[in-house]
Amino acid sequence: MEFILTATNKIRGDQLVDEIARATGIDLTDKYGFYPPNKVQVPDALVAGREAEIQAIVDVHEPDPLYFPADLARQIEQGAEGKAAAIQSWSTWTEQEALDWFTANVTDLIEAIPDISGLSPTAYANNAQAIAAQTQGIINAQALVIRNMTRMLLALRNKVFPNLEGG
């Protein structure tokens, strides 16, 4: 039996077989042939009496590269490295480079803040703006660390467990 696609080469065979099986119960896995540009052939005995029903399914078939859950998982997994690479600097830093950045932007700033419990009220008042500015710088650096760590963690998760994204 021969079925005609509505458009040239508009087929994803495994998806079409699945659509036919779900709608009719007829399993055509490994029992069909596609003949470009628009013909699908199956054994007559498997579809006898249901030709119109199957042609209707073929008529509405829209190939979807993400039809099966494994396709979406594969796409997420393949995109994970690109997402990690897009984390500016972080994706290519060595451990030492990351530690150097953290030291310069967090540790050194924390150590530069005077212990305010030991300051007199006058000394505190005279230094409050500078202390607040240093604290704000630390908070901004830590927020950047947390943001980039989150992005890297999600990229790693997607590489290892691609089925978890959006699920």
The model's pLDDT over 47-90, given as tens digits with 9 standing for 90+, comes to: 999 999 999 999 999 999 999 989 988 898 888 888 888 887 77
Q: Which domain holds residue 55?
A: 2-60
| Same structural domain, 51 and 95 | no
pTM of the model: 0.56
- Nearest-angstrom CA–CA distance, 143 and 132: 16
Whether 90 contacts 98, CB under 8 Å: yes
| Same structural domain, 83 and 110 | yes
pLDDT above 80: residue 15: yes
| Same structural domain, 79 and 11 | no
pLDDT above 70: residue 155: yes
Q: What does the mean pLDDT of the chain come to?
A: 90
Q: What is the predicted pLDDT for the residue at 92? A: 80
- Domain boundary among the residues 60, 78, 93 is at 60
Q: What is the predicted pLDDT for the residue at 167? A: 66
